[in-house]
Amino acid sequence: MNANIRKDALRDQRAKMLAAAPDWRASDARVNPRVAIGSILAMWLIYFVITTGLAMLTGASEQWSYAGRRAIVVVAGILCTFVLYQLLQRAQPRSFGARLAAALGAAVPLVVLYASINLFVFFYWFPAPDSAKVIEEVQSKFPVAWEMVLILDSSIRWYFFFAVWAALYVAFGYANEMRAVERRANHFRMEAKNAQLRALHYQVNPHFLFNTLNSLSTLVLKGSKSEAETMIMNLSSFLRSSLAVDPEQLVSLDEEIALQRLYLDIEQARFPDRLQVEVLMPDELKHACVPVLILQPIIENAIKYGVSPSKGKIAIRLHASAEYGLLVLRIENDIDPRAPVPASGTGLGLGNVRERLLTRYGPAAGCEWGKSDDGGFVVSLWLPLAREAC
């Protein structure tokens, strides 16, 4: 009952962790300086190449002098856009809409500055042949504020150029933010998964320890001093080995079976004449990876419900095979038809095995159990076959 409550609490905690929104960080929305500066240079270089190329194709006069003036304003545009980049780096509202609005708003004064530089270059510092004519036409319409009119007219045209880059920057930042959020969400999922694996693993040891201490108590009451001493030594070896491993660790099938033999040595002290173990494992599967102690609850149940109530010899058979890319383990134990039927268990042990497999491997793994064709009890579990170093 308590174990089921703990299990439900763990699931609720895991669900809350996965449902919680990951912390928002302003640094996530910042764009890598190389990407930002590269996009600025690329944008203005493309502008320079396209406008200069089109002017040459149309055969306009004095293109080299215009190209020089254009190069000056391109440098000014690069500097203004870089200032915009610095402002956007320091202002990172949380919502995407606020971030975009801030970017578009910050572009306004810099566009006005750029339009002013453009006016000085083309009308004052390096006037073009037709500059005087343009000034005369504007002055005739706006004699007082003709310069402001030119700046505003130029700002309206150039604003969309700056706005496109600002929107692109915000889009880059939003993409970075989404990747960071996904990384943290994956980290939370992994932490929750590892916490669940650890909790499921630690449910095994107390369950096993409780049964073993009961067995040890029985031997002491019977006065079987040597058997009790052997069991204590075997228990010490098993606990030392099982507690030394990481519950998230994968071990080779050969190592897992060696751990189970330590447990079976403990039970052999209780049932020296009744317990018989058979292992059929092909050599090519010895290095197949399995979750550590995944077989222990199954072997424990075979002892509890097969060997313990019987009067005669009971065999526990473990068979490993590879089928369709899966490692299939089949653990079967005899049942003495003359023995009293033990009380049904809570299903915690086998449910634990299934939960560990599903938590680690998902639907690619599973565990089933039930009566075998010859009247015994069989547990089958399967998981992806991997022979890499565990």
Distance of CA 371 to the CA centre of its chain: 39
pTM, two decimals, is: 0.49
Look at residues 126, 115, 110, 104 and name the one whose alpha carbon lies nearest to residue 149: 115
Angle of helix 253-270 relative to helix 146-222, nearest 10 degrees, comes to: 30
Distance of CA 384 to the CA centre of its chain: 20
Burial class (CB in 10 A: 0-12, 13-18, 19+), 60: exposed
Q: Verify that 158 and 260 share a domain, yes or no.
A: no
Burial class (CB in 10 A: 0-12, 13-18, 19+), 110: buried
Q: Verify that 180 and 229 share a domain, yes or no.
A: no
Q: Verify that 179 and 231 share a domain, yes or no.
A: no
Contact, 114 vs 77, CB < 8 A? yes
In this prediction, residue 284 carries a pLDDT of 92
Tokens of 56: 């040459």
Q: Verify that 131 and 280 share a domain, yes or no.
A: no
Question: How far apart, in whole angstroms, are the C-alpha atoms of residue 270 and residue 215?
Answer: 7
In this prediction, residue 265 carries a pLDDT of 82
Q: Verify that 138 and 241 share a domain, yes or no.
A: no
Number of residues written out for the chain:
390
Q: Verify that 228 and 121 share a domain, yes or no.
A: no
Tokens of 145: 């504020």
Interval 193-210: pLDDT, tens: 655 555 555 555 565 677
Q: Is the dihedral of CA 291, 297, 299, 302 positive or negative?
A: negative
Cβ–Cβ contacts within 10 Å for residue 151, how many?
Answer: 20
**Is 241 a member of any domain?**
yes
Q: Verify that 21 and 85 share a domain, yes or no.
A: yes
Please give the span between the terminal C-alpha atoms of the chain, in angstroms, as a whole number.
35
Residue matched to tokens 């590892």: 194
Overall domain count for the chain: 2
Q: Verify that 294 and 234 share a domain, yes or no.
A: yes
DSSP state of 304: I
Q: Verify that 239 and 350 share a domain, yes or no.
A: yes
Q: Verify that 18 and 167 share a domain, yes or no.
A: yes
Contact, 121 vs 69, CB < 8 A? yes
Question: How far apart, in whole angstroms, are the C-alpha atoms of residue 350 and residue 342?
Answer: 17
**Is 121 a member of any domain?**
yes
Contact, 357 vs 381, CB < 8 A? yes
Cβ–Cβ contacts within 10 Å for residue 311, how many?
Answer: 10
Question: How far apart, in whole angstroms, are the C-alpha atoms of residue 267 and residue 209?
Answer: 12
Structural element, H or E, at residue 368: strand 366-371
The range of the structural domain enclosing residue 318 comes to 224-384
In this prediction, residue 305 carries a pLDDT of 83
Q: Verify that 173 and 236 share a domain, yes or no.
A: no
Distance set, CA 172 to CA 12, 263, 281 (Å) = 36, 57, 54
246 phi, psi to nearest 5 deg: -75, 130
The CATH number of whichever domain residue 283 belongs to comes to 3.30.565.10
Contact, 297 vs 354, CB < 8 A? no
In this prediction, residue 130 carries a pLDDT of 65
Half-sphere exposure of 32 (CA within 13 A, CB side): 6
Q: Where among 187, 205, 232 does a domain terminate?
A: 187
Tens-level pLDDT at each residue, the chain (390 residues): 444 554 455 455 544 444 444 455 666 667 888 888 999 999 989 888 888 777 777 765 566 667 778 888 889 999 999 999 988 887 777 777 888 888 888 889 999 898 888 888 777 776 766 666 666 666 666 666 777 877 888 888 889 889 989 888 888 888 888 887 777 767 666 665 655 555 555 555 565 677 678 878 877 888 777 878 878 887 887 777 766 666 667 889 998 998 888 888 877 777 778 888 899 999 999 999 998 888 988 888 888 888 878 878 888 999 999 998 999 999 999 888 777 766 665 556 788 888 888 888 888 999 999 888 888 899 999 999 987 666
Structural element, H or E, at residue 352: helix 348-361
